[in-house]
Amino acid sequence: MLKTKNLRRYYLSNRDLLIISVLSGIGGVMSTYVGYLGNLLNRIFGVPFGAGQFTSGLHVFWFILVAGLIRRPGATTVAGLL
């Protein structure tokens, strides 16, 4: 019984997989626009480099969101692989 309970903790439900896939898809699409936002900030501030570093943390936001919503071992890894 204890072994079954420990193994069950590592399985992801269909709802978990759906949340992971949707957030990974949104993160993949938004990563393109993060680059555009960095270029826009570079032009606004008039610096040839550096302003894009403000937006670089937005790539990791989706992993943190998955980790907070799912709270199962391996959920963030699955999101990163997708």
Question: Does the global pTM surpass 0.95?
Answer: no
The answer to whether the CB of 23 falls within 8 A of the CB of 77 is no
The answer to whether the CB of 19 falls within 8 A of the CB of 70 is yes
- Whole-angstrom distance, CA of residue 82 vs CA of residue 78: 6
pLDDT digits (tens, 9 = 90+) for 2-31: 566 666 666 889 999 999 999 999 988 888
- Residue 61: pLDDT band with limits 50, 70, 90: confident
- Whole-angstrom distance, CA of residue 30 vs CA of residue 65: 14
pLDDT digits (tens, 9 = 90+) for 27-45: 888 888 887 877 787 778 7
- Helix ranges (H only) for 1-82 are 2-8, 14-45, 58-70, 75-81
Q: How many CB atoms lie within 10 A of CB 62?
A: 21
